[in-house]
Amino acid sequence: MLKHRNGQVCDTDLYYDWPAGGNLHIDRRPEEKPFFDNERQNGSTYYYTPGGSCKVIEMGVGLLPPDWLKGATYGGNETVRTASDEIRCHVWTKGHAMDNSTGPFITYYENMETRTPARWRFFDGMYFDILHWEPGKKACSKH
């Protein structure tokens, strides 16, 4: 994925494993160590870099369940323009913005042709463009 936040762009890998209770984001920027955002089912999130410190935040919400769009509001369809493509998408919104922001917590764009994620946009302006989607791919394998 490409993560867009505050004018900065980085490559991000996402590994979501509902049965194991984990969601791992690995952010990579040129000339920096990877940054790990490890979200757990129990509501804890661990932020760390290799050889660096670890910060634990109790988010209290756990992981999004596989049926997380249940109860979302369908907003029709729209074309998403990414750095490399234009994608026709179904659009859903869900939740309420946090802090003093208004609008939905998340807007989800689903590729109409492949039925896979195309973009996630959050209330704070951060968004992810999905470059490649591989259901079932493992972050690491046991030997």
* pLDDT one-digit tens code per residue, 30-82: 889 999 999 999 999 999 999 999 999 998 778 888 898 999 999 999 999 98
Considering the entire predicted model, what is its pTM? Answer: 0.83
Show the 3-state SS of the chain. Answer: CEEEECCEEEEEEEEEECCCCEEEEEEECCCCCCEEEEEECCCEEEEECCCCCEEEEECCCCCCCCCCCCCCEEEEEEEEECCCCEEEEEEEEECCCCCCCCCCCEEEEEECCCCCEEEEEECCCCEEECCCCCCCCCCCCCC
Q: What are the tens digits of pLDDT across the range 98-134? A: 878 888 999 999 999 999 999 999 999 999 999 888 8
